[in-house]
Copies of this chain bind each other. A is one copy, B any other.
Amino acid sequence: MQLFDNIKFDDKGLIPAVIVNVADNRVLTLCFMNRDAVDKTIETGKVHVFRRSQNRLMIKGETSGHTQLVEEVFFDCEGKSLVLKVKQNVAACHAGYMSCYYRKYNSSTDSIEINEEKIFDPEKTYKT
């Protein structure tokens, strides 16, 4: 695959991938992929990540069903990161928001503001 000739993995075998909502160009989340995750993401057209805390490959949205369908794949000038434009199913953030970046830091008042509405209730989505 041509893509692998153009990207590099770090000393842990990972590459960061910025996930962008194709609908409005908004950054949804940042995840880390190993070679298998990149391979599986391209092959299936659905974002797969290497979950560092569990040391395993998984499809994004495994538990919630909030999968991400890949529309476009970009890589940076140094081949050290990816941008994936996706169609987001429901929402990207496990906290219930469309984007993981739902909080904004206001430096003039040194305060945190919630920047968007909650889309789903995490307690109902992630049953124990």
Contact = CB atoms under 8 A, between A and B. Distances in A.
Interface of A: 1-3, 6, 16, 18, 20, 24-27, 29-30, 42, 72-78, 80-81, 83, 93-95, 97, 100-105, 107, 110-112, 115
Given A110-B1, A112-B2, A30 B103 contact: no
Contacts of A16: 16, 30
15 contacts: A2-B105, A2-B111, A3-B107, A20-B27, A29-B76, A30-B80, A73-B104, A73-B105, A73-B107, A74-B104, A74-B115, A77-B93, A77-B97, A77-B102, A78-B100
The 5 tightest CB contacts between A and B, nearest first, are A74-B101, A25-B25, A76-B100, A73-B105, A30-B81
A27 B83 CA distance: 8
